[in-house]
Amino acid sequence: MRSVRRVLGLGLILIFTLNLLLIFYAKGILQKLVLGDIQESLHFHSPPSEWNRTVMERLSHLEGDLQHLKERMKLAMKQQKNEDNTPERVRDENRPVQKAVEAKEIEEKKRKSKELLFPNSVLFKKWGEDLSEAEQKKAEHLFQEFGYNVYLSDQLPLDLFIRLAGELKAHLDEKIKLYNQKSPGLLKIVWHSERKGLATARNTGREVATADVVAILDAHVEVNVGWAEPILARIQQDRTVIVSPVFDKIHFDTLELEKYALAVDGFNWELWCRYDSLPKAWIDLHDVTAPVKSPSIMGILAANRLFLEEIGSLDGGMLTYGGENVELSLRAWQCGGRIEVLPCSRVAHLERHHKPYALDLSPPLLRNALRVAEIWMDEHKDMVYMAWNMPLQNSGIDIGDIASRKALREKLKCKTFDWYLKNVYPVLKPIHSIVGYGRMKNALDESVCLDKGTSPNKSPIMHHCHQYSSQNVYYHLTGEFYVGPLIAETDAEDHCLADPGKGEKPILEPCSKAVRNGLYIHWDFKPGSAVIKRATGRCLEMKKATLGGYLLVLQTCTAQVWTIQHTLSETGDQANVQRASGSLASCRRNGFYLQCCSDGGGGEKKCVCACVCTVASAGAPLKGAANRQVILKTSPSVHTPTAVFFGSLHLPQTRHCRGRGEERTSNSPTPLCPGCEEGGKIQVLVGLSLRSL
């Protein structure tokens, strides 16, 4: 290191000296010095011209020496730099991952240095970091207009690009002309002069089709290789089957393809479509190519054209979007057809972030769901009304004329919705013990409503009233409060309002779990009165929170009263019971009777099988007919039920139990309880106070 510094110092001195000499010489000063005293002191006796040549030669040699010195200095400096960087170079070679991370961080800093014009847009969450400001503006504009990444779609090769028909317009006409030049009449396009909704548009396409099989696809679908052959083969085997391919997902922002697992298509009580798990019967086949029986269809389908016409195609009375797929599915199953998903046929579907023609799909879907319920769901239609929190009568929703669709149902001799639930979609579990539902308010402040809340500790809250399902409340004949969206399915549970028995906070738990954990889930309530926990006598009330708003509490009753939005208040005993329990005719048709028994040891009286049953009067006569309907909860979790009766009734005393299905009352008919679980001692029956709601 010291030698390098010495060389550098000497070199700098020599370079400075050379530059100074050259400056002097250029100005004539050097020549004067050379010809004067310096010449004499050096004893040079050559003539001036020869002396000049000598000086120039020596200066030239000096310049060469200096150039050589500079090269040596550069070499020495390079060697020293290599020595200094050796540890860092070795460290980088030994840590390639760290080096890659640092490079990525540098690149990320460069990326972030660009201004993001739409930092809150979902379009740019995973894409678009390299776009200029002009490109960002164009991409966002197209996204807002069409609901997916049109900008990126336009960058794809021409044989892969995704554009909806409404966007192509003239270009689409040109494409169709080009194809029809090669194959005359192969493609047709029909334009509506006004928007008529999804169902009508698809019906228009089916009406102009002439082939044996018609396939109905969304515009934003890419079909996979070999997608059509399995469809055609299956429909050739059975003309009454309506088939769906398996869906994969195209992400609306990146257009990346995500492969979905095989599933069947289903729906909830709001008639929103969803994916359900594969049926056990199909799994047991051990054949991954076999068609899968599906309760519903998503909307992309293929069918025999004539069969689809015979069963009424799509319901043209369904407006805009939503529910038309469920309507077709119910009609297919109930009217002689079937729905299947074909594992060997796959398409990729782009689910738009938003529908440009309907930013809020709830109004058309609600309207269409009620239309489906009125035509196809018989006594179970109330489940749709309650799931949407609509009054059972006079909903205010215009569902259009349904006379022609009901006439079609009669003409086709279609099966009941009850048959559909039992044979096709047993996952859905209709509940007919609900007597009050909707928003629930406390008279202390009616601007807030009971709400499921989002807290991880499962605590319900009081929240400013809104229209969403987190504030749906369902009160049952047996005293449970369901809070939140109505689920009513066999493989998922609604959440029950529960008193943990200690502390002042109520909680929400899946109902069966609450019972297993010893929580209290049965409440006494009539609209305009208190909500009282039966077992503890505590009331559900609310109090002012320290930071504003209200807290739900369980405490000694202070006369706070609650209301619930909708109650079953039709006139007439039979109408009330029929609304709460389902169809009277259904009860008789299925042969359900009330099965009461004691535990054999003189203890409490229990019911192994509590159904919606016809009970013969054994005490004071009933008002009106000799037999009435009494509704009792069918659940092994119920400890103390409440029977609802419009009139007066004395239950007959029971004498003994002789095992499942053998229980008898003193004057009951032959017991028939086909739906009971083994060992289900369910309800205390004798000694109840039967009251009217």
Per-domain residue ranges for the chain?
2-83, 190-423, 434-567, 585-693
Nearest residue to 333 (alpha-carbon basis) of 295, 387, 365, 283: 295
Q: Cβ(581)–Cβ(607) under 8 Å?
A: no
pLDDT at 464 over 50: yes
Quickly state the pLDDT bin for 178 (edges 50, 70, 90): confident
pLDDT above 80: residue 223 = yes
pLDDT at 610 over 80: no
Ramachandran category for residue 171: left, alpha or beta (phi over 0 → left; psi -120 to 50 → alpha)? alpha
Over residues 289-319, the pLDDT tens digits come to 999 999 999 989 999 999 999 999 999 999 9
| Residue 615 pLDDT > 50 | no
Q: What pLDDT score was predicted for residue 8? A: 56
pLDDT of residue 166: 47
Position 40 scores a pLDDT of 43
**Buried b / exposed e along 292-329 (16+ C-beta atoms within 10 A):** bbbbbbbbbbbbbbebbeebbbbbbbbbbbbbbbbbbb
Residue 690 has pLDDT above 80, yes or no: no
Average pLDDT, stretch 589-602?
Answer: 36
Among the residue ranges 300-304, 368-372, 535-539, the one predicted with the least confidence is 535-539
Report the C-alpha gap between 261 and 340 in whole angstroms. Answer: 16
| CA–CA gap between residue 365 and residue 370 (Å, rounded) | 9
**Identical fold, 190-423 and 434-567:** no
**pLDDT tier for residue 522 given thresholds of 50, 70 and 90:** very high
Q: What phi, psi does 7 have (nearest 5°)?
A: -65, -45
**Would you state the CATH architecture of domain 190-423?**
Alpha-Beta Complex (3.90)
Q: Which residues of 460-476 are buried (b: 16+ CB within 10 A; e: fewer)?
A: bbbbebeeeebbbbbbb
**Does position 37 have pLDDT exceeding 50, yes or no?**
no
Q: Can you tell me the distance from the alpha carbon of 408 to that of 387, in angstroms, rounded to the nearest whole number?
A: 27
Q: Is the pLDDT of residue 358 over 90?
A: no
pLDDT at 69 exceeding the cut of 70: no
pLDDT of residue 676: 33
What is the percent of the chain where pLDDT is above 70? 63
Highest mean pLDDT among 50-64, 216-230, 628-642: 216-230
Q: How confident is the model at residue 328 (pLDDT cuts 50, 70, 90)?
A: very high
Report which DSSP code applies to 124: G
**For range 124-139, the mean pLDDT:** 93
Task: Reduce the DSSP state of residue 480 to 3 states and report it.
Answer: coil
Report residue 52's pLDDT band, with 50, 70 and 90 as the boundaries.
Answer: low
Q: Is the per-residue pLDDT at 624 higher than 50?
A: no
Confidence of residue 626 (pLDDT cuts 50, 70, 90): very low
Residue 62 vs residue 580, higher pLDDT:
62
Highest-confidence segment of 14-28, 143-157, 278-292: 278-292
Give the DSSP H/E element, type plus range, for residue 551: strand 550-555
Least confident of 97-106, 117-126, 219-228, 473-482: 97-106
* pLDDT score of 27 more than 50: no
For residue 508, pLDDT beyond 60: yes
Work out the pLDDT band at 31, boundaries 50, 70, 90: very low
DSSP H or E run through 393 = none
Summarize the confidence of residues 583-588 as an average pLDDT: 32
**Mean pLDDT of the chain, nearest integer:** 75
State the pLDDT at residue 543.
Answer: 94
Q: What's the length of the chain?
A: 693
Mean pLDDT of 247-268: 95
The letter for the amino acid at 625 is A
What is the band of 264 on the pLDDT scale with cuts at 50, 70, 90? very high
Q: What is the pLDDT of residue 491?
A: 84
Alpha carbons 640 and 686: distance in angstroms, whole number: 11
**Which residues face 437 on adjacent strands?**
474, 566
CATH of domain 434-567: 2.80.10.50
Burial track 227-246 (b if 16+ CB lie within 10 A, e otherwise): beebbeebbeeebebbbbbb
